[in-house]
Amino acid sequence: MSEEGNDTARSGKPWIKLVAVVAAIVVLILIANHFGVFDLLKEGTLKERVLRLDAFFHGMGPWAPVALIAIWIIACVLLLPGLPMSIVSGLIFGAVWGSVWTTVGANLGAILAFLIGRYAARDMVAGWVEKNAALKKIDEGVRRQGWRMLMITRLVPLFPFNVQNYVYGLTDIPLRTYVLVTFPCMIPATIAFNFAAGSAREVILSGGQPEAVKKTILYLAIAAVFFVLLSLIPGWVKKRYAKDELIQSS
C-alpha cells in the first residue's frame, strides 16, 4: 500500500465520506422496498416469481436496464454475492441482454467499491485485510505481480468478488489499470452464468414450445463452453504464475 494512499486516507475526513455513501445506499434500499421489489420473490411458484420480476422490470420500459444496473452497483457496494444477481439478470433479461447489463452493472459497482476502498473507507478495509490472511495475499500478490494478480483473482474464484473490489483500492494499482483488467476478465463468468439462467428462463416461461427448446439447448451449450473454459483457467493461471515466480526468484 502506497504512502501517498495513506496520506489521502488521513486527509479529507474519510468517515464523513463513508457515512454519506452508506446513507445514500440506505435511501436506495428504502426506495426499493417502498416499490415492492423485495415482495416480488416472497410467494408463489418459480414461474410466478419469474413472471412478477419480468413484469416489474419490463413495466419500466427503457428504464429497466438502468434499474438492474443500479441494483448491481448497490450489491457490489454492500458486498452481496454476485452469483444470485447474475442468475436474476439472466432470468429477467434473457441470456444475451442479461450478460450485457450484468457486465455494465458489475463493472460500475466494482469501480465504485474500489474508489470507496481507496478514499472513503480506507481504514475500515485495511482492518479487514489485517485480520484476514487470504486478503493479505492480494496486497502481497500485487506487489510481486502487479496487474497480473488482479487478472488471476478475477478469472479464478479464489477470493469473493465484491470483497476484492474494496481490497484492490488499498493497493498501488491505478484506477485505469483496474478498469482495463477487470472488464475483460469478468466476461467469461458473466456469460456462463447468464446463459445458464437464460436457458432456465426459456424452460420456465415457454411451456416446452419447440422454438424455446432450441434456444434452451443453444444457451446451455454456450454456458457449458464457458464453464469448461472457467474450469481450465485455474490450471493455466497456476502454471503461468508458478513460472513467473521461478523467473523472479532465479
Within-domain flag for 98: yes
Q: Residue 204: which of 39, 36, 52 has the closest Cα? A: 52
Report pLDDT for 202: 80
Within-domain flag for 75: yes
Within-domain flag for 19: yes
Within-domain flag for 241: no
Within-domain flag for 225: no
Within-domain flag for 61: yes
Q: Which grid coordinates are listed for 37? A: 421489489
Angle (CA) 25-155-122 rounded to 5° is 40
Within-domain flag for 204: no
Report pLDDT for 42: 66
Report pLDDT for 157: 62
Residues lower than pLDDT 70 in the chain: 1-22, 24-25, 27-44, 46, 132, 134, 157-159, 207-213, 231, 233-235, 237-250
Report pLDDT for 207: 65
Report pLDDT for 240: 65
Within-domain flag for 122: yes
Report pLDDT for 93: 92
Q: How far is CA 211 from each of CA 54, 139, 196, rounded to the nearest angstrom?
A: 20, 49, 17
Give dist(CA 190, CA 89) in Å, integer: 10
Domain count, the chain: 1
pLDDT digits (tens, 9 = 90+) for 130-181: 776 767 777 787 888 788 888 878 877 666 777 888 888 888 889 999 999 9
Report pLDDT for 11: 44
SS3 readout for the chain: CCHHHHHHHHCCCHHHHHHHHHHHHHHHHHHHHHCCCHHHHCCCCHHHHHHHHHHHHHCCHHHHHHHHHHHHHHHHHCCCCHHHHHHHHHHHHHHHHHHHHHHHHHHHHHHHHHHHHHHHCHHHHHHHHHHCHHHHHHHHHHHHHCHHHHHHHHHCCCCCHHHHHHHHCCCCCCHHHHHHHHHHHHHHHHHHHHHHHHHHHHHHHHCCCHHHHHHHHHHHHHHHHHHHHHHHHHHHHHHHHHHHHHHHHC
Give dist(CA 181, CA 186) in Å, integer: 9
Domain extent at residue 57: 3-186
Q: Residue 180: which of 158, 156, 136, 148 has the closest Cα? A: 148
